[in-house]
Amino acid sequence: MNIIPSVNLQDFISGDPDRKQKFIDEIGKAYQEIGFVALKGHFLDDQLVDNLYKEVKNFFDLPLETKRSYEIEGIAGQRGYISFGKESAKGKKEGDLKEFWHFGQYVEDDPERAKEYPANVEVKELPEFNNIGKETYRMLEKTAKYVLRALALFLELEETYFDKYIHNGNSILRPIHYPPILEEPENAVRAAAHGDINLITLLMGAQGRGLQVQNHKGEWIDAIADPDELMINVGDMLSRHTNNKLKSTIHRVVNPPRELWGTSRYSIPFFMHPISEMKLDVLDSCIDENNPKQFDDITAGEFLNERLIELGLKK
């Protein structure tokens, strides 16, 4: 498969059983074959998206010392600002050519859960950045909930199987700025080849070339979404949980051609994480004589901790 399939979430929530089943079949097949889909019909409206990009640019245009004042020590980069080159892909020593911000969960009805997560960092200079970030987080979380409901049905689980694990989950919204490239990078790319840690990732800003996905033959293919589409991929947690029935695909963001080095790129992934105690043990329905259990039992919290150490964000 050399193109990313496009699906429409409105089919799933239409109330028409045939359209709903069509969506389940299409997204399930895509995640078995390539691990990525382009999704139309999500809950982000155009105005919210426009406002978000404006606020994200406003933030990254702030003086470096102002941005650095929002870089919080001791929380492994889970909230606030993470400066240029801090994060590297698993197994790669060069830092990625990016700076980014983290919005995290807004816990409302669970004081114990609220204590588990670092507080969100408020940018004093840009009140709208905080407000728009929160609204975007909510709409992407809502979109992700319905995608996971479709996948639950595809996996022959009860439709709301994932709901209790993602309510107040440890999800992250990450606006990324890939600044203009000023000199020939040595071995560094905007984002080196990697798989995501989480259940699923919803990516805004995959218009234009840059994001590439590795297919089963090991070939790199361009993943380009229409302006009204989110690119959504399976993460390692969901791949483990389904015994690799749903594929977590290796992907990267390559440097642009030299004539575009002077331009910034922005992308905004939402990493859908469950609550830390969710067991990622392989589902019984995904094990048979041809597909023996491939992964040890582990919780989402333990798995995340392992990966943050590998990424260099945690000591």
pLDDT in tens, 152-210: 999 999 999 999 999 999 999 999 998 887 777 666 666 678 889 999 999 987 666 77
Topology (CATH level 3) of domain 27-310: Jelly Rolls (2.60.120)
Mean pLDDT, rounded, for 69-85: 88
Let me know the angle formed at the C-alpha of 74 by 70 and 78, rounded to the nearest 5 degrees: 65
Amino acid at 157: L
Instruction: Return d(Cα 167, Cα 148) in angstroms, integer.
Output: 12
pLDDT given for residue 85 in this prediction: 65
Instruction: Return d(Cα 206, Cα 267) in angstroms, integer.
Output: 7
Question: Judging by DSSP bridges, how do beta strands 172-173 and 6-8 pair with one another?
Answer: unpaired
Angle between helix axes 127-154 and 17-33 (nearest 10 degrees) is 90
Instruction: Return d(Cα 133, Cα 60) in angstroms, integer.
Output: 14
Would you say residue 96 has pLDDT above 70? Answer: no
The rounded mean pLDDT for the chain is 89
Overall pTM surpassing 0.85 (yes/no): yes
Contact between residue 158 and residue 74 where contact means Cβ atoms under 8 Å apart: no
pLDDT for 233-273, tens place per residue? Answer: 999 999 999 999 998 989 988 877 777 778 888 889 999 99
Q: How confident is the model at residue 2 (pLDDT cuts 50, 70, 90)?
A: low
Structure tokens at 200: 């699923």
pLDDT given for residue 184 in this prediction: 72
**Spatial CB neighbours of 54, under 8 Å, sequence gap ≥ 6:** none
Which residue reads 């699923």 in tokens? 200
Report the percent of the chain where pLDDT is more than 90: 66
pLDDT given for residue 100 in this prediction: 93
Q: How confident is the model at residue 217 (pLDDT cuts 50, 70, 90)?
A: confident
Give residue limits of the domains in the chain.
27-310
Mean pLDDT, rounded, for 96-121: 91
